[in-house]
Structure formats: C-alpha cells, structure tokens
Amino acid sequence: MRKHITTRIASTSALRTRAAVVGMGMGATVALGAGVALAVDSPSSDHRPVAAAEQQADAAKKAESVKQAEAAKKAEAAEQAAAAKKAAAERAEKAEAAKKASRDHKRAPVKKAEHKPAAKPAHKPKPSSWTAPLNKYTLGSTFGLAGSHWAHNHSGQDFVVPTGTAVKAAHAGTVVKAGPNGGGDGPAYGNAIVIRHGAQVYTQYAHLSKINVHVGQAVGKGQQIGLSGSTGNSTGPHLHFEVRTTPNYGTAVEPVHFLRSHGAL
C-alpha cells in the first residue's frame, strides 16, 4: 500500500516537473517572441523622427511655394486690373475731350473768310523839281487860243489872280531876260521875265506889276521873282506863263501839259 502511494506521488511530481519545464519553455518562448517583437520594432522607432521632420519640411516648402505663387498671381491680377482701369479712364477722358471740342465747335460762330486785297508796295513819289508859278489861281485863257486879243494864237496859259500876287520861279535856273517891253519880246507882254532851266527849256512870266530879279541872277525853285499885274496887252490882272525851247518868242509849247507831266500841277 505504501509502495503504491509512493509511486503515485513520484508520478505526480514528474508530471508537475514536466509541466513546469513546459511552462518555462512556453514562457521563454513568449518572452523570446516579445523580445523579438521588440527587437523588430526598435530600429523603426529610432528613424521615425528624422523622416517625419523631413516630410514636414517638404510640406512646409510646398505650402510656402503655393502661397508665393498665389500671392504672385494676385499681384499680377491686381496690376492688370489697375492698368485696365487706367486705360479705361484715359479713354473716357479722351472721349469727353472730343465731345467738348465738338460742342465748342458747334457753338462757335463760323467766320467768313475775309478777302484782303494784296498790300500794295509803299511807293512815295519823288518830290518834283518843278512847281506851279502861283500858290492859288484860276486857269484863264489856254494855250493856242485864237482871238482878237492876240496877233497870233495865244502862246501861253493865263493864271487869273489879283494884282500884287507873288509870282514864283517854276524851276531852278538863271534869269536871261527881265524888264519892260516883255524883256525884249515886245510891248504886248508888259513887264516880263525869262528864266533858263537847261538845254532847250525856258519859262516866261509876263504882265507883271513888279520885277524882283535881274539878268544873270540864279534863282531856285519856288523863289519869288515878281508880282502879278496887268501891264502890256491885258484885259485884267493875271499872269501870262509860257514854256519855251529858246528864250525868244515863237518857240512856246503847251505849258499846262508840261507842268503836269513834271508833277507841278
């Protein structure tokens, strides 16, 4: 009986020892598995912070690039909008100026073109070296007139003036005749003077009441040489004036035309 119990006890102890060994083995296995697991996970955990930091930096760079691109696009869009606004304002300003100019043109009175005659060149006539023998007068008997008052046709031009009117030299020259009896041309002339003005140009002044010059005297244009009267063959006070080609009677030419052609009348 005791032997049987001892055997059972021994068997039970053996079983328990096996179980303990198995349990230890399993524990070792479990512990080893856990260790292996830890060993496998351990290298990944060591590199994870570095990779994450790089990823975050890349993400940050990408985000900054996107942000900068968007800002550039916004700035460009704003610049384009400002340019378009400025161009529109300039067009509006030009259009308004054109409208205003059109309104002003319509309101402005239309001026007719004035036609001004072409300006004539200033021309001052040269002063004549000749003058009328009297300042004031009335033309009387003309050259070439026929009648009972003259033995031949009238040889000069009569200037009707009162007695005592100043008689002037019609042109500068030298006295070649002066005195009564026509200065040698005959009693019909009364007191007379003849002045030489150049080759074939002479003037005669007759019917004078007074003579103020003498033969050989030089006289100037407009110089007083005597006073008008009615001496000789005369019907009233006047000056008988002749233009001659010689100093003597019978060579007279039309005196009014001569004086006018020389700017004296």
Residues 80 and 191 in one domain: no
Does 99 fall in a domain? Answer: yes
* 201 domain residue, yes or no: yes
Q: Are 206 and 155 a contacting pair, CB within 8 Å?
A: no
Q: Let me know whether 254 and 156 are in one domain.
A: yes
Flag whether 251 is in a domain. Answer: yes
**pLDDT attached to residue 151:** 57
Domain match, 72 and 167 both: no
The residue range of the domain holding 206 is 138-261
Whether residues 198 and 245 fall in one domain: yes
**Could you tell me if 161 and 241 lie in one domain?**
yes
Classify residue 121: in a domain, yes or no.
no
pLDDT of residue 106: 64
Please count the structural domains in the chain.
3
115 is a catalytic site residue: no
Residues 147, 248: one domain? Answer: yes
* 115 is a domain residue: no
Instruction: Please list the pLDDT of the chain residue by residue as tens digits (265 residues).
Output: 444 444 454 444 444 545 444 444 444 343 334 443 334 444 444 555 667 777 887 787 888 888 887 877 887 888 888 888 888 888 888 888 888 777 766 665 655 556 566 666 555 667 889 999 999 999 999 998 876 565 568 899 999 999 999 999 999 999 999 999 999 999 999 999 999 999 999 999 999 999 999 999 999 999 999 999 999 999 999 999 999 999 999 999 999 999 999 999 8
For 242, counting Cβ atoms within 10 Å of its Cβ (0-12 exposed, 13-18 middle, 19+ buried), the class is buried
CATH code for the domain in which residue 196 is found:
2.70.70.10
Sign (positive/negative) of CA torsion 172, 177, 178, 182?
negative
Same domain, yes or no: 226 and 146: yes
pLDDT score for 221? 97
Q: Residue 138 forms beta bridges with which residues?
A: 160
Residue 12, in any domain of the structure: yes
> Is 58 inside a domain boundary?
yes
pLDDT score for 113: 57
Is there a contact between 256 and 141 (Cβ–Cβ < 8 Å)?
no
Residues 143 and 94 in one domain: no
Do 181 and 87 lie in one domain? The reply is no
Q: Do 59 and 36 lie in a common domain?
A: no
Query: Could you tell me which residues come within 8 angstroms of residue 96 by beta carbon, excluding any fewer than 6 positions away?
Result: none
- Tell whether 93 and 153 lie within a shared domain: no
List CB contacts of 204: < 8 A, sequence separation 6 or more.
Answer: 156, 177, 185, 189, 192, 193, 194, 240, 241, 242, 244, 252
Does 29 share its domain with 58?
Answer: no
Distance between CA atoms of residues 158 and 238, nearest Å: 6
Among 164, 162, 185, residue whose Cα is nearest residue 233: 185
From the list 171, 207, 238, 240, the catalytic residue is 238
Q: Taking the complete model, does pTM exceed 0.85, yes or no?
A: no
Distance CA 149, CA 233 (A): 8
